[in-house]
Amino acid sequence: MGRKFGFSWSWKRAIGLSALKGKISRKLGIPLTRLGRQQKAGRAAGCCVLMFSLLCAGTAGLAILF
């Protein structure tokens, strides 16, 4: 593509499509971009993995006692 020196033009920004997508995304709480959705899912899965590992450790501890 070539280098752009200080000026770029986007028809999506010119007609307000980018702002509309941002407003919708904030209202829904779900990112509209693929990367945003993947990051949100990754953050949620990280929390679930921690909770799952604690639950497994607790269950294993109870199994040893009985």
The answer as to whether 53 is a domain residue is yes
The number of folded domains in the chain is 1
Which of 18, 52, 42 lies closest to 32 in space, CA to CA?
A: 18
Query: Which pLDDT tens digits describe the chain residue by residue (66 residues)?
Result: 566 676 778 888 899 998 999 999 999 888 888 999 888 888 877 767 777 777 777 777 666 766
Mark out the alpha helices in 1-66 (DSSP H runs).
11-14, 17-28, 34-65
The answer as to whether 2 is a domain residue is no
The answer as to whether 5 is a domain residue is no
The answer as to whether 1 is a domain residue is no
The answer as to whether 4 is a domain residue is no
The answer as to whether 16 is a domain residue is yes
**All residues at 6 or more sequence positions from 30 whose CB lies less than 8 Å from its CB, including other chains:** 37, 40
Q: Which domain holds residue 17?
A: 11-65
